Amino acid sequence: MKRIKIKELLSSTEKGKEVLVKGWVRTKRGSKNIIFIALNDGSTINNIQVVADVSLFDAEMVKNITTGSCLSVQGILVESEGKGQNVEIQAFSIELYGTCDSETYPLQKKGHSMEFLREIAHLRPRTNTFGAVLRIRHAMAFAIHKYFNERGFYYLHTPVITGSDAEGAGEMFHVTTLDLTNIPLNKDGSVDFSEDFFGKQTNLTVSGQLEGELGALALGEIYTFGPTFRAENSNTPRHLAEFWMIEPEMAFYDLTDNMDLAEDFLKYLIRYALENCSEDLQFLNNMINKGLLDRLQFVISNDFIRLTYTEAVEILEKASRKWEYPVGWGRDLQAEHERYLVEEHFEKPVILTDYPKSIKAFYMKQNDDGKTVRAMDVLFPGIGEIIGGSQREEDYTRLLNRIRELGLPEKDLWWYLETRKFGTAPHSGFGLGFERMIVFITGMANIRDVIPFPRTPKNAEF
């Protein structure tokens, strides 16, 4: 007999047919005559109830059906006599694939703290919460590819290992095959990377953007979606050392086109989740974050507020409250400032544009005022910056001058600069932190709980 997944089974209307299901036991209840097993196979947050007449089965086997054990069950799909489920399986054959010692199995029928579950990340996908989060995470990854594919964007695979340290987005992890107990040195005492695998110093990427631009200036519209690494000593609920990022890059888009895409993209993902993950979202709304569904609905049914950095600073200066960090034109906005704008002043997602060039990256297009660049940050409630992007500087001379002003390694960027020499084009792009998006959509409080195996300072277990 062919195995049927529980998700399919629960929507089945064919009562009285023989079925085969396989899954893990969530709970077992019952008396000495009859037992009820809640079985879950990960296909849905819902369990199928297996009803077994104890007299039909080996007593030792029945005793070994405990929370966490794995079963293969054959039976008849019937209408449930009890409340709480429409259908259930009247079992006539049970095979115990894997026992699960109840004295040492850490997952209980009761709820657990997120901190405890993080310590057992190998088992936490078996909980309702992480099952829901991981299914939603999958759906979002799929929706991202679907969205871009339907709009003619090409998925570009940018390198994970990079020889450039000019991306300027934070500390990098080194990649080397050198013997760390016997490092070859130059005469001046610096490391001789000519002996290393690539013959030069290499790192894990902090962004695929620069290579993404190369793709956009050939294919028109591209996106990247891959892992990204930051060796920052960041210990917050919003940071990971290894995370996934989506970076679309588009030729012939100005900053407004860029903002339109970002807003449409975010709303599409939320809408996709609401339409395709309703049971998981309902569970998270009930158990993890009460206002979740309302917040998601609110975001898709309202326009994001768009204003310039300069306008934002004026609002903050007029605000009747004390700031821990001073507000002033030219200073970067602090978390408290962004939170005020998003969560109190506008109470909507906000897109800030045209930041002072001194606080933004070298590749952003310089405005004619000589002071600001065509940057955009999308700020979300509870998350802060979820997207950072810009129109890129397409003028060779202005870009080169900016690189020299900032003292960046010009010769490492020769290939990037050549795109501005050979058929340059106006273009734009942005980066979306995948896990930050999942945090928003699931209502989870900590980014470490929306990735299966989080990598953070002092933590690379599993």
Looking only at residues 163 through 192 of this chain, which bind RNA when binding is defined by CB under 7 A? 169-170
Instruction: For RNA, give the closer residue by CB, 137 or 196.
Output: 137
Looking only at residues 258 through 277 of this chain, which bind RNA when binding is defined by CB under 7 A? none
Instruction: For RNA, give the closer residue by CB, 31 or 397.
Output: 31
Looking only at residues 332 through 361 of this chain, which bind RNA when binding is defined by CB under 7 A? 332, 334-336, 339
The alpha carbon torsion through 295, 298, 302, 308 (nearest 10 deg) reads -20
Query: Does the protein bind RNA through residue 238 (CB under 7 A)?
Result: yes
The span from the CA of 408 to the CA of 177, in Å, is 27
**Residue 461 C-beta-side C-alpha neighbours within 13 Å:** 8
Burial pattern 367-393, b for ≥16 Cβ within 10 A else e, equals beeeebbbbbbbbbbbbbbbbbbbbbb
Looking only at residues 206 through 235 of this chain, which bind RNA when binding is defined by CB under 7 A? 207, 230, 232-235
Span near RNA by CB under 7 A; candidates 214-222, 240-248, 405-413, 415-423: 240-248
Measured from the CB of residue 224, what is the shortest distance to RNA in angstroms? 12
Q: How is residue 248 annotated by DSSP?
A: E
- Find the binder of RNA among 9, 94, 134, 240 (CB under 7 A): 240
Of 57, 52, 21, 55, nearest to 39 by C-alpha is 21
Instruction: For RNA, give the closer residue by CB, 193 or 430.
Output: 430
Measured from the CB of residue 107, what is the shortest distance to RNA in angstroms? 9
Measured from the CB of residue 339, what is the shortest distance to RNA in angstroms? 7
**For the window 291-330, what string marks contact with RNA as x by the rule CB under 7 A?**
----------------------------------x-----
CA angle 117, 120, 122 (to 5 degrees): 120
Query: Does the protein bind RNA through residue 205 (CB under 7 A)?
Result: no
Backbone angles phi, psi at 167, to 5 degrees: -70, -25
For residue 235, which amino acid is it?
A: N
Looking only at residues 79 through 138 of this chain, which bind RNA when binding is defined by CB under 7 A? 80-85, 88, 90, 102-103, 106, 108-113, 115-116, 118
- Find the binder of RNA among 237, 291, 330, 409 (CB under 7 A): 237
Of 264, 283, 294, nearest to 378 by C-alpha is 264
Q: Which two tokens stand for residue 144?
A: 């991202």
Number of residues binding to RNA, judged by CB under 7 A:
73
Span near RNA by CB under 7 A; candidates 31-39, 151-159, 314-322, 400-408: 31-39
Helix axes 434-442 and 128-150, enclosed angle (nearest 10): 120
Looking only at residues 40 through 69 of this chain, which bind RNA when binding is defined by CB under 7 A? 49, 51, 63, 66-67
Looking only at residues 371 through 390 of this chain, which bind RNA when binding is defined by CB under 7 A? 384-388
Looking only at residues 402 through 461 of this chain, which bind RNA when binding is defined by CB under 7 A? 431-433, 435-436, 445-448, 457-459
Helix axes 278-287 and 255-276, enclosed angle (nearest 10): 90
Measured from the CB of residue 49, what is the shortest distance to RNA in angstroms? 6
* Residues 426, 252 contacting (CB under 8 angstroms): yes
Q: Which two tokens stand for residue 43?
A: 């296909």
